[in-house]
Amino acid sequence: MNLSRLALSLGQSATLKLNELANNLKAEGKPVIHLGGGEPEEKIPGGALEESRKMLDAGFVRYTPVSGTAPLKKEIAAYTEAHYGVKPGPKNIVVASGAKQAIYNFLVSVVDPGDQVIFPAPYWVSYPEMVRLAYGTPVIVRPPKGELLVSAADIEAHLTSCTKAILLNSPNNPSGQVYSEEFVREMVEICEHRNIYLLMDDIYNRLVFDGLKAPSAFNFSQRPLNDSVIVSINGVSKTFSMTGYRIGWSVANEALTQAMIKVQAQVSSCPSALSQTAAAGALREGSGFVDKLRSGLEKKRDVMVAELSKLKKVKLHKPQGTFYSFPDFSAYEPDSTKLSNMLLEKAMVVTVPGMEFGLEGHLRLSYCGAEKDIVEGVSRIRKILD
Ligand SMILES: Cc1ncc(COP(=O)(O)O)c(C=O)c1O
């Protein structure tokens, strides 16, 4: 087959592949437990449903402006002001078909062939391939052995004249760890000093536990938004349990936003009008939904931690946010792909190998599903390993 070098070089999304596998096994009637998922099980907010219904009843679902509808941008601006310490105008926002497309818009807008994009491991599975899609070079910074967070000095040691951007995701998929204020402040200082972009993937940013708050990079910036190197990526997929609606967005300076709009205009025109109206409904509904989701996830996090602590040789950094845990299973089996395959085969439990997130020896176990699945899934793993 005659495929491009780029297409041939790209890896598959490990998490999406595992989702498909888990669904297929379930459809075959196998007693599979899916601890590899990446979406909350809660129903979408009532406001989102109501807005979707209204639009369907009216019978008009048309193209919208490329960068998103005015009502949704108004809600995004208010949400950003309330939670991220900056108030964007409509020219600072691009609504995209998911946070993933917003990140892609950004990368294609700033990366030239050969440019480097730095991010710490463990990282979201898509970052390396998305940087490659933009003809950039991913530069991965690994934490010291036994740790899940890198220091500012670790990042600084990887900066070169080709560095175009640093990507941070806090709280982090897969580790659930939150970057400290000090670390985020240092990242802002480095990026402003060197004039390189700081992309904050804030998609889980409000799903933080124990009264903690994930710091917003904008709080440490010395510059107004239109001169800022900070780009915040957000969306309704995780915080509002609306993964299937595919709505995310970016908040950035106007010049960069203009470039991202051009990219999106040529790739996908605009996100679905139906989804945009639903997302506006969700944001309008306010914090009640998110607070409930967060407290439910915190309880499930506690169940996951309690179950994992029963395994004799697992090491775990307690997750501070998201709905993922990232225990170190290397004392049982250092090859995470081998271990994950074995657990699927022998225990019918789906996990994601740490290798896919750039940190071998770990597995990612999600706690966004039913509590009984968390208990049963980890107990099956224990039976096999202990
Ligand atoms: C860290 C991170 N960023 C971005 C995304 C993409 O979100 P969306 O579904 O809005 O495209 C995900 C989804 O799993 C994620 O985990």
Q: Can you name the residues that pair with 163 across neighbouring β-strands?
A: 116
Pocket lining: 169 vs ligand 1, CB cutoff 6 Å: yes
Residue 17: the pLDDT is: 78
Q: Is residue 1 predicted with pLDDT exceeding 80?
A: no
> What is the average per-residue pLDDT within 17-41?
87
Give CA–CA dist 371/352, Å, rounded: 19
Which residues make Cβ contacts (< 8 Å) with residue 76, sequence separation at least 6?
68, 88, 93, 95, 234, 249, 251, 283
Residue 105: the pLDDT is: 98
Q: Can you name the residues that pair with 365 across neighbouring β-strands?
A: 325
Determine the distance separating the centroid of ligand 1 and the alpha carbon of 340, expressed in angstroms.
22
Which one-letter DSSP state was computed for residue 167? Answer: E
Which atom of ligand 1 has the smallest separation from the CA of 39? 14
Determine the distance separating the centroid of ligand 1 and the alpha carbon of 203, expressed in angstroms.
6
Give CA–CA dist 342/209, Å, rounded: 32
Residue 13: the pLDDT is: 76
Report the DSSP pairing between strands 33-34 and 349-350.
parallel
Pocket lining: 237 vs ligand 1, CB cutoff 6 Å: yes
Beta-carbon count within 10 A of 87 CB: 14
218 close to 84: Cβ distance less than 8 angstroms: yes
Residue range 36-74, pLDDT digits in tens? 989 999 999 999 999 999 999 999 999 999 999 999 999
Which one-letter DSSP state was computed for residue 383? Answer: H
> What is the average per-residue pLDDT within 353-363?
96
Q: Is residue 15 predicted with pLDDT exceeding 80?
A: no
Residue 130: the pLDDT is: 96
Give CA–CA dist 297/255, Å, rounded: 38
pLDDT band at 29; cut points 50, 70, 90: confident
Residue range 270-322, pLDDT digits in tens? 999 999 999 999 999 878 999 999 999 999 999 999 999 999 999 999 999 99
Which atom of ligand 1 has the smallest separation from the CA of 102? 11
* Structural domains for the chain: 5-44+288-385 (3.90.1150.10), 46-285 (3.40.640.10)
Pocket lining: 373 vs ligand 1, CB cutoff 6 Å: no
> What is the average per-residue pLDDT within 198-211?
97
| E-state strands within the chain | 33-34, 93-96, 116-120, 137-141, 163-169, 197-201, 230-235, 248-251, 324-325, 349-350, 352-353, 363-366
248 close to 235: Cβ distance less than 8 angstroms: yes
Residue range 166-190, pLDDT digits in tens? 999 999 999 999 999 999 999 999 9
User: Which of 95, 238, 241, 326 best tests ligand 1's pocket when mutated (most atoms within 8 Å of CB)?
Assistant: 238
For 24-38, letters b (16+ CB in 10 Å) and e give: ebeeeeeebbbbbbb
pTM for the structure as a whole: 0.96
Q: Is residue 147 predicted with pLDDT exceeding 90?
A: yes
Question: Under DSSP, is residue 88 helix (H, G, I), strand (E, B) or coil?
Answer: coil
pLDDT band at 23; cut points 50, 70, 90: confident
Side chain identity at 353, as an amino acid letter? P
Task: Report the chain's mean pLDDT, rounded to a whole number.
Answer: 96
